[in-house]
Amino acid sequence: KMAADTPVKNFQHPNIVDVVAFDPTGTQLATGCHDGRVRLFDVAKGTMVREIQAHVTQPQPSAVYCLAWSSDGKQLVSGSYDRSLKLWNVADGKLVREFKGYEDKKFEKGHRGSVVCAALAPDGKTLASGDWDHAIKIWNVADGSVLHDLINPQLKVSAAPQPPPAHPGVVYALRYTPDGKRLISVGAAPRLRGYLAIWNVADGKMLYGSEQALGTLFSLAVSADGKYLAVGAGGPSAAGEEDNKNNVYVLKLPTK
């Protein structure tokens, strides 16, 4: 049972809320909505501090699917259906930098699919993002350039012009390890399985990659000491395997 039968706060929105994220202090709550806007709320007062027209594209707004706070709580990243990511200054809501989506002959390094997940490195120097088209990118926050397109050597290279994939399915969640040296990714795999991969941030090389017979992996958390992962799984399990859908699993972080 919940500690209280009624919510402590209720922040109304005009459309579907796709993502919510507390800042590191827990005093502000950021939300991403189907109307393309990011909203910042003062949790204690229960009031909206700021509304940012983050991905209000034409002719229709693009849903905000993911948010990632900087470790100092001063900046916030939004990722969207429109294939772009944007870095915002929390104090005034101004755009700091855009990480552009794919555009033929103009910016071919950008995401070709909707951005589903994002994570900022602990030092704030790099940004990782994953998309609907199985790709993961590591960006240079300072100038918005792509440092690494993560390539999975276990998977077949996609037919041109599609870039080589990082995952065999949608990339649903990303997290840096506390030291910022490794990036963890989870997502979908064929035959109703999940996929877990670990990457070296410095050079973008895969350190570990494996299908998991746990159902699709939708969410991810890394313990403060960097030794354990928690993954949220869902959906039907593969035929002939143990029925272990809709669970949260705690795993030891693979070392090889």
pLDDT of residue 105: 84
Q: What is the pLDDT of residue 238?
A: 54
Q: What is the pLDDT of residues 12-53, one digit of tens each?
A: 999 999 999 999 999 999 999 999 999 999 999 999 999 999
Q: What is the pLDDT of residue 102?
A: 93
For 125, what's the count of Cα atoms within 13 Å in the CB-facing half-sphere? 7
* Residue 226 Ramachandran class (φ > 0 left, ψ -120 to 50 alpha, else beta): left
Report how far residue 158's alpha carbon sits from residue 5's, in angstroms, rounded to the nearest whole number.
51
Cα-to-chain-centroid distance, residue 186? 10
53-62 mean pLDDT: 92
Q: Residue 111: how many CB atoms within 10 A of its CB? A: 27
Mean pLDDT of the residues in the chain: 92
Partners of 13 in the beta sheet?
none
Helix (H, G, I), strand (E, B) or coil at 10: coil
Could you tell me how many helices (H) and strands (E) the chain has, helices first?
0, 19
| Predicted pLDDT of residue 202 | 97
* Domain architecture of the chain: domains with CATH: 1-99 (2.40.10.480), 120-134+149-256 (2.130.10.10)
Tens digits of residue pLDDT in 101-118: 999 889 989 999 999 999
Burial of 110 (0-12, 13-18, 19+ CB in 10 A): buried
Confidence band of 242 (pLDDT split at 50, 70, 90): low
- Using one digit for the tens of pLDDT, what is the confidence trace for 134-166? 999 999 999 999 999 999 999 987 665 577 899
Radius of gyration in angstroms for the set of CA atoms belonging to the chain, rounded to a whole number: 18
For residue 58, the model assigns a pLDDT of 83
The yes-or-no verdict on residue 190 having pLDDT over 60 is yes
What pLDDT does 156 receive? 81
CA distance 11 to 29: 10
| Torsion angles phi and psi, residue 252, rounded to 5 | -75, 135
